[in-house]
A = this chain, B = another copy of it.
Amino acid sequence: MFYAGGMNNDVHAIVDEQLRRARQRYTGGRRQLVQLLIDAGRPVTIPELQEIGARQSQSSLYRNLATLEQCGAVRRLASTDDVARYELTEELSEHHHHLLCSSCGRLEDVVLPPRIERALAEAAEEARRQTDFDVDSHRFELVGTCATCN
């Protein structure tokens, strides 16, 4: 099965290219970070990255994630707890939205059927007309309680 940018084998090649464009290197640490983000399948925190085996100092984690964010490979998210979470950009993953646990701040990915995505896009278009913001994307979040906090 194919979907744009979703095949793990390709992800590293794309990130390599993205970094190259920004005149930066795809080091071992950065590669491992990208692999951990692929494996996680949801936005993860710095402590979580350390738990699942990131073998680099905390400052390198911050710096590498910032670098990957600047080159367009990673997106940084703020949740309800004040711990940043990181995920691959949609260029490297599948278009998705998030479930947010209002108790612990955990985020999970959710993929919606095309019919719903069309409705959301339509809603965004309507909303854009009502504002002087220069709107370029939208986010849809489901807020609730995760399995752990339940």
List A residues at the B interface (Cβ < 8 Å). 76, 78-80, 82, 84, 97, 99-101, 108, 110-113, 116, 119-120, 122-124, 126-128, 130-147, 150
Contact = CB atoms under 8 A, between A and B. Distances in A.
- Residue with the highest number of chain B CB atoms closer than 10 Å, among A82, A101, A119: A119
Contacts of A150: 134
Q: Please give the count of copies of this chain that the complex contains.
A: 2
A82 B135 CA distance: 21
B127 A116 contact: yes
Contacts of A123: 112, 116, 119-120, 140
Contacts of A134: 144-145, 150
Given A113-B126, A120-B120, A123-B112, A142 B135 contact: yes
Main secondary structure of the interface of A (DSSP, over half): mixed
Contacts of A131: 99, 108, 110, 142
Given A79-B78, A112-B126, A123-B119, A101 B142 contact: no
A79 B142 CA distance: 16
A135 B144 contact: yes
A76 B80 CA distance: 8
B142 A133 contact: yes
A147 to B, nearest CB: 5
A8 B133 CA distance: 27
A123 B137 CA distance: 17
